[in-house]
Structure 1
Amino acid sequence: MPSVAQILKSKSESHQDRDLRVVTIDADASVFEAVKMMSTFQIGALIVTEGIEHSIVGIITERDYARKIVLMDRASKTTPVRDIMTANVRYVRLNDTVEACMGVMTEHRMRHLPVIDNNRLMGIVSIGDLVKSIISEQQFTIQQLEHYITGAHT
């Protein structure tokens, strides 16, 4: 199984036309600003930071917006991100496997996992990134089996 590091590398190679830096937002910013940033960057989650050192204090997702703003009839322009973010941020490390990430996402019903290395935010992996990696691995295995069965050598 590929590692998180391999997934992040693959993302950067396949999206050379896009800036793949991790998009963050300050905890005191409005939820409206967070949703606007997610739309601009076409992403489903933002890492929430605060202070001069930009310490990670949470994550805000489209799901948070839908459940904690829209369904509760709150005003996104006046509600700070800190009021609806998920503060207990689960994360993975560069050497974690796709399988480990899927386990965390499944167990905690999440779609985005920050990647931390040496207390530094390296990226985010999404459920889509993991599924793409799994499909790629399966296609490779199928090709190898087909070559084996037909006697073709690569």
Structure 2
Amino acid sequence: MKTVKHILHNKPAGVHSVSPDASVLEALKLMMEKNISALLVVDGGQLKGIFTERDYARKIILQGKSSKDTAIWEVMTRDPHTITPDEAVDQCMQLMTNNHFRHLPVLNEGTVVGIISIGDLVKSIIEDQQQTISQLQNYITS
């Protein structure tokens, strides 16, 4: 059974985050620079929330707020679901699908160690399926 630990091992090291006092504009600039669609909001080493493109669309654009004048803490998703590195990939997929979100922070003993996206999970599942197909083809032809 493949776990989140396997996915994190294949991703670049490091987690991108902002403080709760950062402006939405600062967060958007970092997201653009890193080509990511979500940032963790961390204060004093503690996960406080997550800010995503969806938060931006729903809580800034549609409400007519200013990206420059709005702090992340005002629009972040507070207390996001989190997982551990030992969580099974299929359980994460089910959690994300059932709750309609695309990113999961990964904590190990309360410390942020990564973030996975729905895309990471899909990629992992496809790789496993391709490996299974290859093994079955080898078995059939041998």
TM-score bin, normalised by smaller chain: over 0.9
Residue by residue over 1:73-115, the C-alpha shift from the partner in whole angstroms, topping out at 9 and shown as x without a partner, is: 1101001101110002111101101101101101111111011
Indicate which of 29, 34, 45 corresponds to 1:36. 29
Match of 1:15 in 2: none
Runs of 4+ in 1 over 6 A off after TM superposition: none
TM-score normalised by the chain length of structure 2: 0.96
Q: Which stretches in structure 2 are left out of the alignment for 5+ residues? A: none
1:2-151 superposed matches below 5 A: 2-12=2-12, 20-50=13-43, 53-151=44-142
Root-mean-square deviation over aligned CA pairs: 1.0
What is the identity, as a one-letter code, of the residue corresponding to 2:71?
P
What is the identity, as a one-letter code, of the residue corresponding to 2:39?
L
Q: Which stretches in structure 1 are left out of the alignment for 5+ residues? A: 13-19
How many correspondences in the alignment?
142
Identity of aligned residues (%): 46
What is the identity, as a one-letter code, of the residue corresponding to 1:123?
G
8 Å CA contact 2:4–2:84 kept in 1: the answer is yes
TM-score normalised by the chain length of structure 1: 0.89
**3-state SS, counterpart of residue 39 of structure 2:** strand
